[in-house]
Amino acid sequence: MKIVVLDGYTENPGDLSWEGLETLGDVTVYDRTSYAEDPVIAERIGDADVVVINKTPISRETIDSCPNLKLVAVLATGYNVVDCAYAKEKGIPVVNVPAYGTQIVGQYAVGLLLEICSHYAAHDAAVKDGRWEHNVDWCFWDYPMIELYGKTAGIIGLGRIGQSTAGILKAMGMRVLASDKFESEAGRKVAEYVDRDTLFAQSDVIFLHCPLFPDTEGIINRDNIAKMKDGVIIINNSRGQLVVEQDLADALNSGKVYAAGLDVVSTEPIQSDNPLLTAKNTIITPHISWAARAARQRIMDITTDNVKAFMNGAPVNVVNG
């Protein structure tokens, strides 16, 4: 069994091991391969049986160029970079890692909110610059301090990660609303289900934890922002395309949206003309919510199990079945 990993570096920059996959076959690992359609992708797959990817696209053309390909294993939950329908047509399962980052992504989302509310990094820098040492008062603050207790959080997408975030917020004394197509008893334990317009109208903070589907693409847009409270805070560490970035930048600059904490943008790596780079009160981090070593180890372990299950004739975590 030949296995090719096309973009392994972000999953394993050297602190993990490919040993699990190596027990299953002949493994070739490339740190990076083009994130755009490129003949090199097919060349590197060659006659491999299994291709393991993170963000490298697997298109119809690539599939046709690799007639020996039998499995596409994605080192992530999202799989929009794969032409899943065509892979299914060709009898190629596409498998993903659905639940590796539930806790860390929820933790990171709340961390973005806490940084907005208290500006830890800015005040730390101020102290180390000598401002506290030379201050006439025993304390100082450069930004408004926001208490979250008693405020209302709205979560769009109350799956595993949304529920993790909701649990943290409830522990902090917040009221939690949620909008999701599929309501569950587990969700009702941590949030109150409402329609989207109610969530927009009542939330002091809005979290995006939903997948990127046609009905969620651009959900943060001019019209929906107008339905929100003045001074709302928006947190997105799900998918950048959930946000119409110019509309959010305009709302930040006008003050309609008080602040945004973002770990994702529409085009990654971020482009220099992204309007959010210069928007007021915006924190942007480089898509790292998922990147704790413990979470990446789970990705590695589940991917190995996915390949093993396929080899045993009983594939799991198939997204195009």
The answer to whether residue 296 is catalytic is: no
- 268 assigned to active site: yes
Give the whole-angstrom CA distance, residue 291 versus residue 106. Answer: 13
User: CA dihedral defined by 265, 268, 273, 275, rounded to 10 degrees?
Assistant: 0
Residue of 60, 188, 268, 293 marked active site: 268
CA distance 208 to 224: 13
Active site residue 37: no
71-74: strand order across its sheet = 26-29, 2-5, 50-53, 71-74, 94-95
Query: Could you tell me how far CA 195 lies from the centroid of its own chain?
Result: 23
Q: Which of 119, 287, 296, 298 is catalytic?
A: 287
Residue 35, φ and ψ in degrees, nearest 5: -90, 0
Structure token pair of residue 321: 């079945």
Q: Side chain identity at 181, as an amino acid letter? A: K
Task: Enumerate residues 6+ apart whose C-beta is below 8 A from 285.
Answer: 112, 262, 263
Which of 44, 239, 296, 298 is catalytic? The answer is 239
Whether residue 269 has a cis bond before it, omega within 30° of 0 = yes
Which are the catalytic amino acids? 239, 268, 287
